[in-house]
């Protein structure tokens, strides 16, 4: 039957059901349900197949979005899964955690007043359901090259590189310091956004493609980097960014003040039943909590604190709500769960003697744009206020933290600490050591999971050319 040309009007956007607030704040599981086949087809059918697919261009990996939406409308699930994986190595993960409202769905022609096509939920449905029905990547035409690459980091960049290498007949061994794969997919993103069995499922898929994992191993300490250069035909670095951005104001070293990553990692370690000596649990139950920072990490922290049983959770951010860098969906979820937001508030001091007791804030207004194009917050004199707090979590983001051994192996970094790579030429993402490639946050700076996936994939293509495969 021919598609009705006004389906996008006759079928309203409908997201999967979301668990009620009073239930979801009692646990750390995902809060969204899933489409069934009929719902996915109906929602996919809302796509009007624009002549210029803005959604596809806005997507960092340039997914063939209108094409796999059409396949889902026609019930061709496995073909949709094949097409989805042509551009994205982790579609079931990106479908859950990408800020679609700022990317594909924000660019959808229907987003202004009618309701964007629910691209993220359909992307998630495609792989979830296809894998459940037995789909796996087709390796039947892949010829083994005899080459093998050592990958440092089992986060999104490393996993994406391993995927593309495998499809090119190149083996890979992925090393990671954590006891499970995923990097911050597993240990930084809370389970209410991404349950960890989803990451484990991707591990099983990659292992089925021939990828090997060696975990609980820190390169440069447990295994010298020189051994990787000796053992492998090339090396890919996907080590992320782990240096916390500090505020530079008094009181940051007070007891009760926590950095966001140790807070989130400690919570996941407890949820997974890991040995907590490597990542101690930070319990905010019964505390009045203030989170400083308005990005996705800040939203992860506020919603974790709610589930831990904090008596109150407040997020203070130095710009207005419109200029928050985090996902609008996550802000909305946090609000529903009782988080209070204070916008245009900049911390200038953490108060307390032997323990943090509050935050001194000043109101701000947005001034001229800085070098990054974002308007800079300017303090308004005389607007200081005190916000009581039993605990403060600082979520200002992360910077690259290159290890000392980079210098020993001629891997150059920029002044910012980001790894220097080739942007153009035959071997994209090649470092100043020709045998070493790099991608993801350690090259770009702290960014989205999907951009790390893109760079891992592109680096793998460069490696394949370098190895003449």
| Beta-strand relationship, 398-399 and 340-342 | unpaired
Q: Do domains 7-132 and 148-241+400-466 have the same CATH topology?
A: no
The pLDDT value recorded for residue 3 is: 60
Is domain 245-397 classified as CATH 3.50.50.60? yes
Positive or negative torsion for Cα 213, 218, 222, 226: positive
Q: Which residues pair with 437 in a beta bridge?
A: 236, 430
Q: What is the rounded distance in angstroms from the CA atom of residue 338 to the CA atom of residue 305?
A: 11
User: Per-residue pLDDT tens for 199-208?
Assistant: 999 999 999 9
Question: Tokens 């974002």 map to which residue?
Answer: 374
| CA 82-83-86 angle, 5° bins | 90
Q: Which residues of the chain have pLDDT under 70?
A: 1-6, 9, 424
Residue 377 backbone dihedrals phi, psi, to 5 degrees: -75, 135
189-221: buried (b, 16+ CB within 10 Å) or exposed (e) per residue?
A: bbbbbbbbebbebbbebbeebbbebeeeeebbe
| CA 428-432-436 angle, 5° bins | 65
Q: What is the rounded distance in angstroms from the CA atom of residue 59 to the CA atom of residue 26?
A: 34
Q: What is the rounded distance in angstroms from the CA atom of residue 282 to the CA atom of residue 263?
A: 6
Q: Where are the domains of the chain?
A: 7-132, 148-241+400-466, 245-397
Question: What DSSP element (H or E) covers 366?
Answer: strand 356-369
Q: Which residues pair with 291 in a beta bridge?
A: 315, 393
Q: What is the rounded distance in angstroms from the CA atom of residue 165 to the CA atom of residue 209?
A: 10
Q: What is the rounded distance in angstroms from the CA atom of residue 255 to the CA atom of residue 230?
A: 45
Give whole-number Cα distances, 410 to 222, 228, 405, 436, 450, in Å.
21, 14, 9, 10, 28
- Both tokens of 235, joined, read 């090396």
Coil, strand or helix at 133:
coil
Q: Is 308 exposed, middle or buried (0-12, 13-18, 19+ CB in 10 A)?
A: buried
Q: What is the rounded distance in angstroms from the CA atom of residue 313 to the CA atom of residue 289?
A: 5
Of the options 3.50.50.60, 3.30.70.260, 3.40.50.280, 3.10.20.30, the CATH number for the domain spanning 148-241+400-466 = 3.50.50.60
360: alpha, beta or left? (left if phi > 0; alpha if psi -120 to 50): beta
- What is the DSSP code string of 244-284? EPP---TTTTSTTEEEHHHHHHHHHHHHHT--TTSS-----
- Among residues 217, 153, 149, 151, the alpha carbon closest in space to that of 185 is found at 153
Q: What is the rounded distance in angstroms from the CA atom of residue 169 to the CA atom of residue 147?
A: 8
Of the options 3.30.70.270, 2.40.50.140, 1.20.1260.10, 1.10.1060.10, the CATH number for the domain spanning 7-132 = 1.10.1060.10
Q: What is the rounded distance in angstroms from the CA atom of residue 155 to the CA atom of residue 34?
A: 25
Q: What is the rounded distance in angstroms from the CA atom of residue 432 to the CA atom of residue 222?
A: 24
Give residues with Cβ within 8 angstroms of 260, minimum separation 6: 244, 293, 297, 298, 300, 301, 393, 394, 395
- Among residues 291, 265, 272, 110, the alpha carbon closest in space to that of 189 is found at 265
* Residue 183 CB-half CA count within 13 A: 26
Give whole-number Cα distances, 223 to 219, 226, 228, 463, in Å.
5, 9, 8, 22
The pLDDT value recorded for residue 294 is: 93
Q: What is the rounded distance in angstroms from the CA atom of residue 157 to the CA atom of residue 183?
A: 10
The pLDDT value recorded for residue 1 is: 46
User: Per-residue pLDDT tens for 315-331?
Assistant: 999 999 999 888 899 99
Cβ(460)–Cβ(439) below 8 Å? no
Q: How far apart are the first and last CA of the chain?
A: 45
- Both tokens of 417, joined, read 């600490």
Question: What DSSP element (H or E) covers 83?
Answer: helix 77-85
Q: Is 336 exposed, middle or buried (0-12, 13-18, 19+ CB in 10 A)?
A: middle
Q: How is residue 11 annotated by DSSP?
A: S
């Amino acid at each position: 039957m021919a598609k009705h040309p006004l389906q996008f009007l006759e079928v309203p956007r409908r997201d999967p059901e979301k668990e009620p607030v009073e239930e979801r704040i009692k646990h750390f599981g995902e809060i969204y349900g899933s489409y069934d086949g009929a719902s996915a087809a109906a929602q996919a059918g809302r796509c009007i197949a624009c002549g210029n697919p803005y959604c596809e261009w806005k997507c960092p990996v340039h997914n063939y979005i209108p094409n796999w939406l059409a396949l889902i409308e026609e019930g061709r699930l496995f073909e949709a899964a094949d097409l989805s994986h042509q551009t994205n190595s982790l579609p079931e993960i990106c479908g859950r955690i990408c800020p679609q409202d700022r990317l594909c769905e924000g660019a959808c022609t229907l987003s202004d007043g009618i309701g964007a096509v629910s691209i993220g939920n359909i992307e998630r449905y495609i792989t979830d359901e296809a894998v459940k029905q037995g789909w796996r990547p087709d390796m039947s035409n892949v010829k083994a090259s005899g080459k093998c690459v050592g990958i440092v980091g089992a986060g999104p960049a490393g996993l994406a590189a391993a995927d593309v290498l495998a499809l090119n007949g190149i083996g890979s061994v992925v090393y990671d310091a954590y006891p499970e794969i995923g990097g911050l997919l597993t240990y930084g993103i809370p389970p209410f956004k991404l349950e960890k069995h989803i990451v484990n499922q991707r591990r099983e898929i990659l292992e089925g493609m021939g990828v090997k994992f060696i975990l609980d191993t820190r390169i440069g300490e447990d295994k010298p980097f020189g051994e990787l250069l000796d053992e492998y035909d090339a090396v890919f670095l996907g080590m992320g960014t782990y240096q916390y951005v500090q505020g530079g104001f008094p009181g940051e070293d007070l007891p009760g003040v926590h950095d966001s990553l140790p807070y989130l990692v400690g919570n996941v370690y407890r949820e997974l039943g890991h040995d907590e000596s490597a990542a101690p649990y930070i319990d905010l139950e019964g505390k009045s909590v203030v989170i400083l920072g308005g990005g996705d990490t800040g939203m992860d922290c506020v919603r974790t604190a709610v589930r831990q049983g904090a008596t109150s959770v407040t997020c203070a951010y130095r710009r207005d709500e419109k200029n928050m860098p985090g996902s609008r969906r996550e802000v909305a979820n946090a609000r529903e769960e009782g988080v209070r937001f204070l916008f245009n508030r900049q911390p200038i001091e953490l108060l307390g003697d032997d323990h943090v007791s509050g935050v001194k804030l000043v109101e701000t207004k947005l001034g001229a744009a800085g070098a990054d194009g974002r308007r800079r917050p300017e303090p308004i004199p005389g607007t200081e206020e005190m916000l009581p707090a039993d605990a403060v979590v600082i979520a200002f983001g992360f910077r690259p933290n290159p290890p000392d051994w980079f210098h020993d192996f001629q891997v150059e970094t920029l002044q910012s600490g980001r790894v220097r790579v080739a942007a153009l030429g035959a071997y994209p993402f090649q470092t100043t050591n020709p045998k070493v490639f790099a991608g993801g946050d350690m090259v770009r700076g702290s960014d989205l999971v999907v951009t790390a996936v893109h760079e891992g994939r592109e680096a793998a293509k460069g490696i394949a050319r370098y190895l003449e495969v």
